[in-house]
């Protein structure tokens, strides 16, 4: 008799005892566990692969120089590794993207959740999902060839061919589906009773949407924003193609600039000798990127749990 086996095999669902020990079940359980553990190994692998070369990098370049100086010239004869221009580029493009994606994404979510008729929803929602499925290299091509050439150049004749504005605009559109669908999930979780109560007090639909549904779903909506920002910071192809590869400490969106991601992409795609300081700099920037997005993802995950607990 193996009571422990029967209990574990039945997952607590089956109170009846088995008569034969089943070793196969135990083996299968271990295999399944190993498959689930791959995800932990992945995180572990990411941390190890950025950490070790980064530590070597920081033994040569002081952390303070990396974080607080403003010249990034790894390819020069006298290379300097001040990461601030890359952070600045990431920030400018992220701000443009978010300025577009947050209002449009939230507006779309409110419309889909509160206003759209079921038939219209059935068409509009999958359309947004298609937008989310377009490869980022296609968005990058479109930013460079269409947005810069045919839309922005006529308005700002002095604009650089590679510029932050076109990359930011297209990235903003790319993030709309992320923000819209997560916000809509949160609004759908708001109990109908809250809406009914507001209507009973004579509220209009707009008042119900803005003063009842949005506040009630706020933690989920903020989670969507944070995840959207995290995606903007981590996006690579659009900025690599459309924003140029020149580190540039500026706030002018009409100029080209390099981001953390496009530096990693450009340096990693070139012929960099393994073990050189330039090779290690890819990992140092990668570590910074991973840490920033990790914290944003954690905030977002926590906020989603919060609204799920509140309404379920």
Q: Which of residues 70-99 bind other proteins (CB under 8 A)?
A: none
User: Among residue numbers 216 through 235, which ones bind other proteins (CB under 8 A)?
Assistant: 227, 230-231, 233-235
Q: Distance between CA atoms of 152 and 145, rounded to whole angstroms? A: 11
The correct pick among 23, 55, 75, 205 for binding other proteins (CB under 8 A) is 205
In this complex, which beta carbon is closest to other proteins, that of residue 113 or of residue 248?
113
Site membership for other proteins, residue 43 (CB under 8 A)? yes
Half-sphere exposure of 307 (CA within 13 A, CB side): 27
Cα of 131 vs its chain's centroid, Å: 16
Nearest in space to 163 (alpha carbons), one of 149, 174, 175: 149
For the bound state, the minimum distance from the C-beta of residue 254 to other proteins, rounded and expressed in Å, comes to 21
The correct pick among 253, 290, 303, 307 for binding other proteins (CB under 8 A) is 290
Q: Distance between CA atoms of 78 and 166, rounded to whole angstroms? A: 33
For the bound state, the minimum distance from the C-beta of residue 253 to other proteins, rounded and expressed in Å, comes to 19
- Residue length of the chain: 312
In this complex, which beta carbon is closest to other proteins, that of residue 89 or of residue 234?
234
Q: Hey, what are 113's tokens? A: 């959740």
Half-sphere exposure of 228 (CA within 13 A, CB side): 35
What residues does 73 pair with on adjacent strands? 80
Half-sphere exposure of 255 (CA within 13 A, CB side): 14
Residue 273: helix, strand or coil by DSSP? coil
Site membership for other proteins, residue 154 (CB under 8 A)? no
User: Among residue numbers 232 through 251, which ones bind other proteins (CB under 8 A)?
Assistant: 233-237, 240-241
Backbone angles phi, psi at 80, to 5 degrees: -125, 140
Q: What does the per-residue mask of binding to other proteins show for 163-202, with x meaning CB under 8 A?
A: ----------x--xx--x-----------x--xx--xxxx
Q: Distance between CA atoms of 232 and 296, rounded to whole angstroms? A: 11
For the bound state, the minimum distance from the C-beta of residue 78 to other proteins, rounded and expressed in Å, comes to 26
In this complex, which beta carbon is closest to other proteins, that of residue 11 or of residue 78?
11
Compute how many residues bind other proteins; rule: CB under 8 A. 106
Residue 41: helix, strand or coil by DSSP? helix
For the bound state, the minimum distance from the C-beta of residue 170 to other proteins, rounded and expressed in Å, comes to 9
In this complex, which beta carbon is closest to other proteins, that of residue 106 or of residue 164?
106
Site membership for other proteins, residue 28 (CB under 8 A)? yes
In this complex, which beta carbon is closest to other proteins, that of residue 165 or of residue 227?
227
In this complex, which beta carbon is closest to other proteins, that of residue 30 or of residue 67?
30
Helix, strand, coil distribution of the chain in percent, nearest 5: 75, 0, 25
* Close Cβ partners of 294 (under 8 Å, ≥ 6 residues apart): none
Four-residue CA torsion sign, 246, 97, 292, 294: negative
Q: Hey, what are 208's tokens? A: 């119900």
For the bound state, the minimum distance from the C-beta of residue 172 to other proteins, rounded and expressed in Å, comes to 10
Nearest in space to 308 (alpha carbons), one of 190, 179, 208: 190
The correct pick among 82, 114, 160, 186 for binding other proteins (CB under 8 A) is 114
Choices 61-69, 75-83, 105-113, 250-258 (CB under 8 A): range interacting with other proteins:
105-113
In this complex, which beta carbon is closest to other proteins, that of residue 30 or of residue 75?
30
For the bound state, the minimum distance from the C-beta of residue 224 to other proteins, rounded and expressed in Å, comes to 12
The correct pick among 9, 95, 189, 310 for binding other proteins (CB under 8 A) is 9
């Amino acid at each position: 008799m193996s009571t422990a086996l029967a209990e574990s095999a039945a997952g607590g669902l089956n109170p009846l005892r088995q008569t034969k020990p089943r070793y196969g079940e135990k083996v299968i359980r271990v295999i399944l566990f190993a498959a689930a553990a791959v995800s932990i190994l992945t995180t572990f692998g990411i941390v190890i692969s950025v950490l070790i070369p980064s530590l070597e990098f920081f033994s040569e370049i002081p952390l303070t120089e990396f974080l607080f100086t403003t010249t990034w010239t790894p390819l020069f004869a006298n290379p300097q590794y001040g990461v601030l221009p890359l952070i600045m580029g990431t920030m400018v493009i992220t701000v443009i993207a978010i300025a577009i994606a947050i209002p449009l994404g939230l507006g779309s979510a409110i419309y889909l959740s509160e206003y759209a008729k079921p038939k219209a929803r059935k068409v509009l929602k999958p359309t947004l999902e298609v937008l989310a499925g377009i490869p980022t290299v296609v968005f990058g091509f479109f930013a460079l060839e269409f947005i810069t050439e045919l839309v922005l150049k006529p308005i700002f004749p002095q604009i650089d061919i590679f510029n932050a504005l076109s990359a930011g605009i297209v990235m903003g559109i790319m993030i709309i589906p992320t923000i819209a669908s997560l916000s809509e999930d949160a609004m759908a979780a708001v109990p109908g009773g809250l809406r009914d109560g507001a209507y009973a007090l004579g509220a209009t639909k707009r008042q119900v949407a803005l003063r009842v549904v949005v506040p009630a779903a706020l933690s989920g909506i903020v989670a969507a924003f944070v995840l959207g920002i995290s995606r903007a910071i981590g996006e690579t192809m659009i900025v690599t193609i459309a924003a140029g590869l020149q580190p540039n400490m500026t706030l002018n969106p009409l100029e080209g600039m390099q981001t953390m991601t496009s530096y990693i992409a450009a340096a990693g795609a070139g012929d960099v000798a393994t073990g050189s300081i330039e090779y290690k700099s890819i990992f140092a920037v990668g570590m910074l990127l991973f840490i920033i997005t990790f914290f944003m993802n954690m905030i977002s995950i926590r906020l989603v749990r919060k609204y799920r607990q509140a309404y379920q």
